[in-house]
Amino acid sequence: MENSSSHRAAGWILRLALVAALAVIATVALAYDQYSTSKTTGNCATCHGDFRASPYTSKVDGSNWGNDMHDVHRNTMLGSDCNTCHYSSRFPTYLGRSPGGNGLAGYSCAGCHGRSQDGTGTGTEGFGAGLRQRHWRAGQTVCVNCHADSNPAAKTPVGENILPPYYASPGTGHTIPNDPCNPPPSYVENYAGSLLGLDNDGDGTFDAQDPQCTVAGATPGEVSRGGLPQLLVTAHNPVNRQMAISYGPACTSTDNAIYYGPLTSVSTYGYSGQQCAIGNTGAYTWTYPATPQAFFFLVVGRNGTNEGSYGKSSAGRERDPYAGNAACPLPQDLAHRCE
């Protein structure tokens, strides 16, 4: 009886130890899952302050925003689309997940402060490598406790010119920046009193001063590439052959074209026609051809001088460009693609 009792006691001690260990692990893993641990303090708020405290003073350039971070983000950028960052309870505010706004995926802060191409884990875990390295270079290294890529020696984030998800597809009713290089004269990343935009890749150089933003002759990459919103059919009217589509614009693209062909030729990408100048907003409604009745199509980025990638086949090979009588011809240049 004595042995049995001591074994049971040891078992309970072991179980309690395991529970305690798991609790510690969970606490560490989720330490920066949200902006603050109360509504005003903890996590990011430890350095940056209450998100609703007015006025906010930038930690980067010392500029006075004249308002709090919350209202600048909510009103100036998002048009009061609260679901972009908040669940119905409003608190806590998570850094990498939300219900999603009007036409925006549920990325929350990571939608503007990260790039999916930096992803190293599941969900939005890797989106913020550049942001974490920006903090590392400023002497705030706590993120490395969970994210090895916080140390610049461990990972090189994609360049400054690569669009965060919300930049690439800003949804409806928002004034989200569309160029992380923040070029003059519009300076699309400068809100409130800011003098600088984001250091998206965390290398210590900002905006157009970043070498990735001054690459001569960079040509468009692939539309709806990994991390960008997928190419989708959002509405279809077979009576008048109207089709609405949405897609993720490629880096450096200023326009796009649709290429289509008979479905029977999809394995060889036998294009039979094109729709020119569909814009670069990430959405377009077009009147598709009466023939062929069954067809495939894709969207290709353009910049007025060159055409970008048509994407890759399932075998990983670049798809051949359109070789027919082009209504709006542009040469394809993959050697200088911005990806």
Q: Is the pLDDT of residue 269 over 60?
A: yes
Q: What are 157-209's pLDDT values in tens digits?
A: 988 988 899 998 899 999 999 888 888 778 889 888 788 899 999 999 998 88
Asked if residue 23 has pLDDT above 60, the reply is no
Q: Nearest 5 degrees, angle CA 59-CA 62-CA 65?
A: 95
Q: How confident is the model at residue 216 (pLDDT cuts 50, 70, 90)?
A: low
When comparing pLDDT for 125 and 263, which is higher? Answer: 263
In whole angstroms, what is the distance from residue 235 CA to residue 228 CA? 20
Q: What is the distance between the alpha carbons of residues 169 and 178, in angstroms, rounded to a whole number? A: 8
Indicate the domain borders of the chain. 1-30, 34-214, 218-339
Separation between Cα atoms, residue 298 and residue 179, nearest integer Å: 24
pLDDT in tens, 299-313: 999 988 899 999 888
Q: 307 is written with which tokens?
A: 């055409």
Q: Please check whether residue 251 is in contact with residue 336, taking contact to mean a CB–CB distance below 8 angstroms.
A: no
How big is the chain, counted in residues? 339
The CATH code belonging to domain 218-339 is 2.60.40.10
| Residues 310 and 320 sit within 8 Å (Cβ to Cβ) | yes
How many contiguous H segments (helices) and E segments (strands) does the chain have? 6, 6
